[in-house]
Amino acid sequence: RNIVHASDRRAYEEAAKRLQLENAEREKIIPRLRVESRRKYLEKRKEDKVAELEADILDDEYLFEEEILTEREKKERLHKKELLKLAQEHEKARELERVQRYHMPRDLGKNSTSDYIEVDELEKAPQSEQKKWEKDQMASAVFKFGAKDASKGDEYELLLEDQIDFIQALQMPGSKDKLKKEPELTEVEMKKLTIEETKRSLPIFPFRDDLIQAVQEHQVLIIEGETGSGKTTQIPQYLHEAGFTADGKKIGCTQPRRVAAMSVAARVAQEMGVKLGNEVGYAIRFEDCTSERTIIKYMTDGTLHREFLSEPDLQSYNVMIIDEAHERTLHTDILFGLVKDIARFRPDLKLLISSATLDAQKFSEFFDDAPIFRIPGRRFPVDIYYTKAPEADYVDACVISILQIHVTQPLGDILVFLTGQEEIETCQELLQDRLRRLGSKVKELIVLPVYANLPSDMQAKIFDPTPPGARKVVLATNIAETSLTIDNIIYVIDPGFAKQNHFNSRTGMESLMVVPISKASANQRAGRAGRVAAGKCFRLYTAWSYKHELEDNTVPEIQRINLGNAVLMLKALGINDLVHFDFLDPPPHETLVLALEQLYALGALNHHGELTKLGRRMAEFPVDPMMAKALLASEKYKCSEEIVTITAMLSVNSAIFYRPKDKIIHADTARKNFNHLGGDHLSLLNVYNQWRDTDYSTQWCYENFIQSMKRARDVREQLVGLMQRVEIEIVSNINETVNIRKAITAGYFYHVARLSKGGNYKTAKHNQTVTIHPNSALFEELPRWILYHELVFTTKEFMRQVIEIESKWLLEVAPHYYKPKE
Nearer to Mg ion, 232 or 708 (CB): 232
Counting DSSP H helices and E strands in the chain, the numbers are 33, 22
Distance CA 683, CA 741 (A): 12
390 binds, among Mg ion, ligand ADP, none (CB under 5 to 8 A by kind): none
List, as one string, the DSSP characters of 328-350.
--HHHHHHHHHHHHHHHH-TT-E
Does residue 332 touch Mg ion according to CB under 5 A?
A: no
- What's the closest the beta carbon of residue 223 comes to Mg ion, in angstroms? 10
Nearer to ligand ADP, 229 or 419 (CB): 229
Count CB-CB contacts under 10 A for residue 536. 28
Nearer to Mg ion, 232 or 737 (CB): 232
Measured in residues, the chain has a length of 822
List, as one string, the DSSP characters of 105-152.
--S--GGGGSS---TTHHHH-HHHHHHHHHHHHHHHHHHHHGGGG--T
Nearer to ligand ADP, 233 or 303 (CB): 233
Distance CA 9, CA 249 (A): 63
Looking at 197-343, which runs of residues are DSSP E strands? 220-225, 250-255, 280-284, 287-289, 296-300, 317-322
- What's the closest the beta carbon of residue 232 comes to Mg ion, in angstroms? 3
488 binds, among Mg ion, ligand ADP, none (CB under 5 to 8 A by kind): none
Does residue 255 touch Mg ion according to CB under 5 A?
A: no
Nearer to ligand ADP, 227 or 591 (CB): 227
- What's the closest the beta carbon of residue 419 comes to ligand ADP, in angstroms? 22
Per CB under 6 A, residues contacting ligand ADP are 202, 225, 227-234, 263-264, 266-267, 463, 485, 487
Query: x/- contact string, 623-642, with Mg ion (CB under 5 A)?
Result: --------------------
The DSSP symbol for 777 reads T
Which is it for the CA torsion 696, 700, 706, 707, positive or negative? Answer: positive
User: Helix %, strand %, coil % for the chain, to 5?
Assistant: 50, 15, 35
Query: x/- contact string, 188-227, with Mg ion (CB under 5 A)?
Result: ----------------------------------------
463 binds, among Mg ion, ligand ADP, none (CB under 5 to 8 A by kind): ligand ADP
Which is it for the CA torsion 475, 384, 325, 791, positive or negative? Answer: negative
233 binds, among ligand ADP, Mg ion, none (CB under 5 to 8 A by kind): ligand ADP
Distance CA 778, CA 763 (A): 17
Among residues 795, 772, 773, the alpha carbon closest in space to that of 785 is found at 772
- What's the closest the beta carbon of residue 483 comes to Mg ion, in angstroms? 6
Q: Which stretch binds Mg ion (CB under 5 A): 66-74, 231-239, 267-275, 564-572?
A: 231-239
Nearer to ligand ADP, 198 or 697 (CB): 198
Burial of 610 (0-12, 13-18, 19+ CB in 10 A): exposed
Count CB-CB contacts under 10 A for residue 128. 12
Nearer to Mg ion, 523 or 737 (CB): 523
Nearer to ligand ADP, 230 or 516 (CB): 230
Nearer to ligand ADP, 263 or 500 (CB): 263
Which is it for the CA torsion 49, 52, 55, 61, positive or negative? Answer: negative
Which one among 232, 303, 428, 737 touches Mg ion, defined by CB under 5 A?
232
- What's the closest the beta carbon of residue 317 comes to Mg ion, in angstroms? 19
Does residue 168 touch Mg ion according to CB under 5 A?
A: no
535 binds, among ligand ADP, Mg ion, none (CB under 5 to 8 A by kind): none
- What's the closest the beta carbon of residue 462 comes to Mg ion, in angstroms? 15
- What's the closest the beta carbon of residue 494 comes to Mg ion, in angstroms? 20
Q: Which stretch binds Mg ion (CB under 5 A): 230-238, 276-284, 369-377, 430-438?
A: 230-238
Nearer to Mg ion, 232 or 542 (CB): 232
The backbone torsions φ and ψ at residue 764, rounded to the nearest 5 degrees and listed phi first, read -65, -40
Among residues 581, 524, 516, the alpha carbon closest in space to that of 355 is found at 524
CA 733 to chain centre: 38
203 binds, among Mg ion, ligand ADP, none (CB under 5 to 8 A by kind): none
How crowded is the C-beta side of 322, counted as CA atoms within 13 Å? 29
The DSSP symbol for 589 reads H
- What's the closest the beta carbon of residue 206 comes to ligand ADP, in angstroms? 14
409 binds, among Mg ion, ligand ADP, none (CB under 5 to 8 A by kind): none
User: What is the binding site for Mg ion (CB under 5 A)?
Assistant: 232
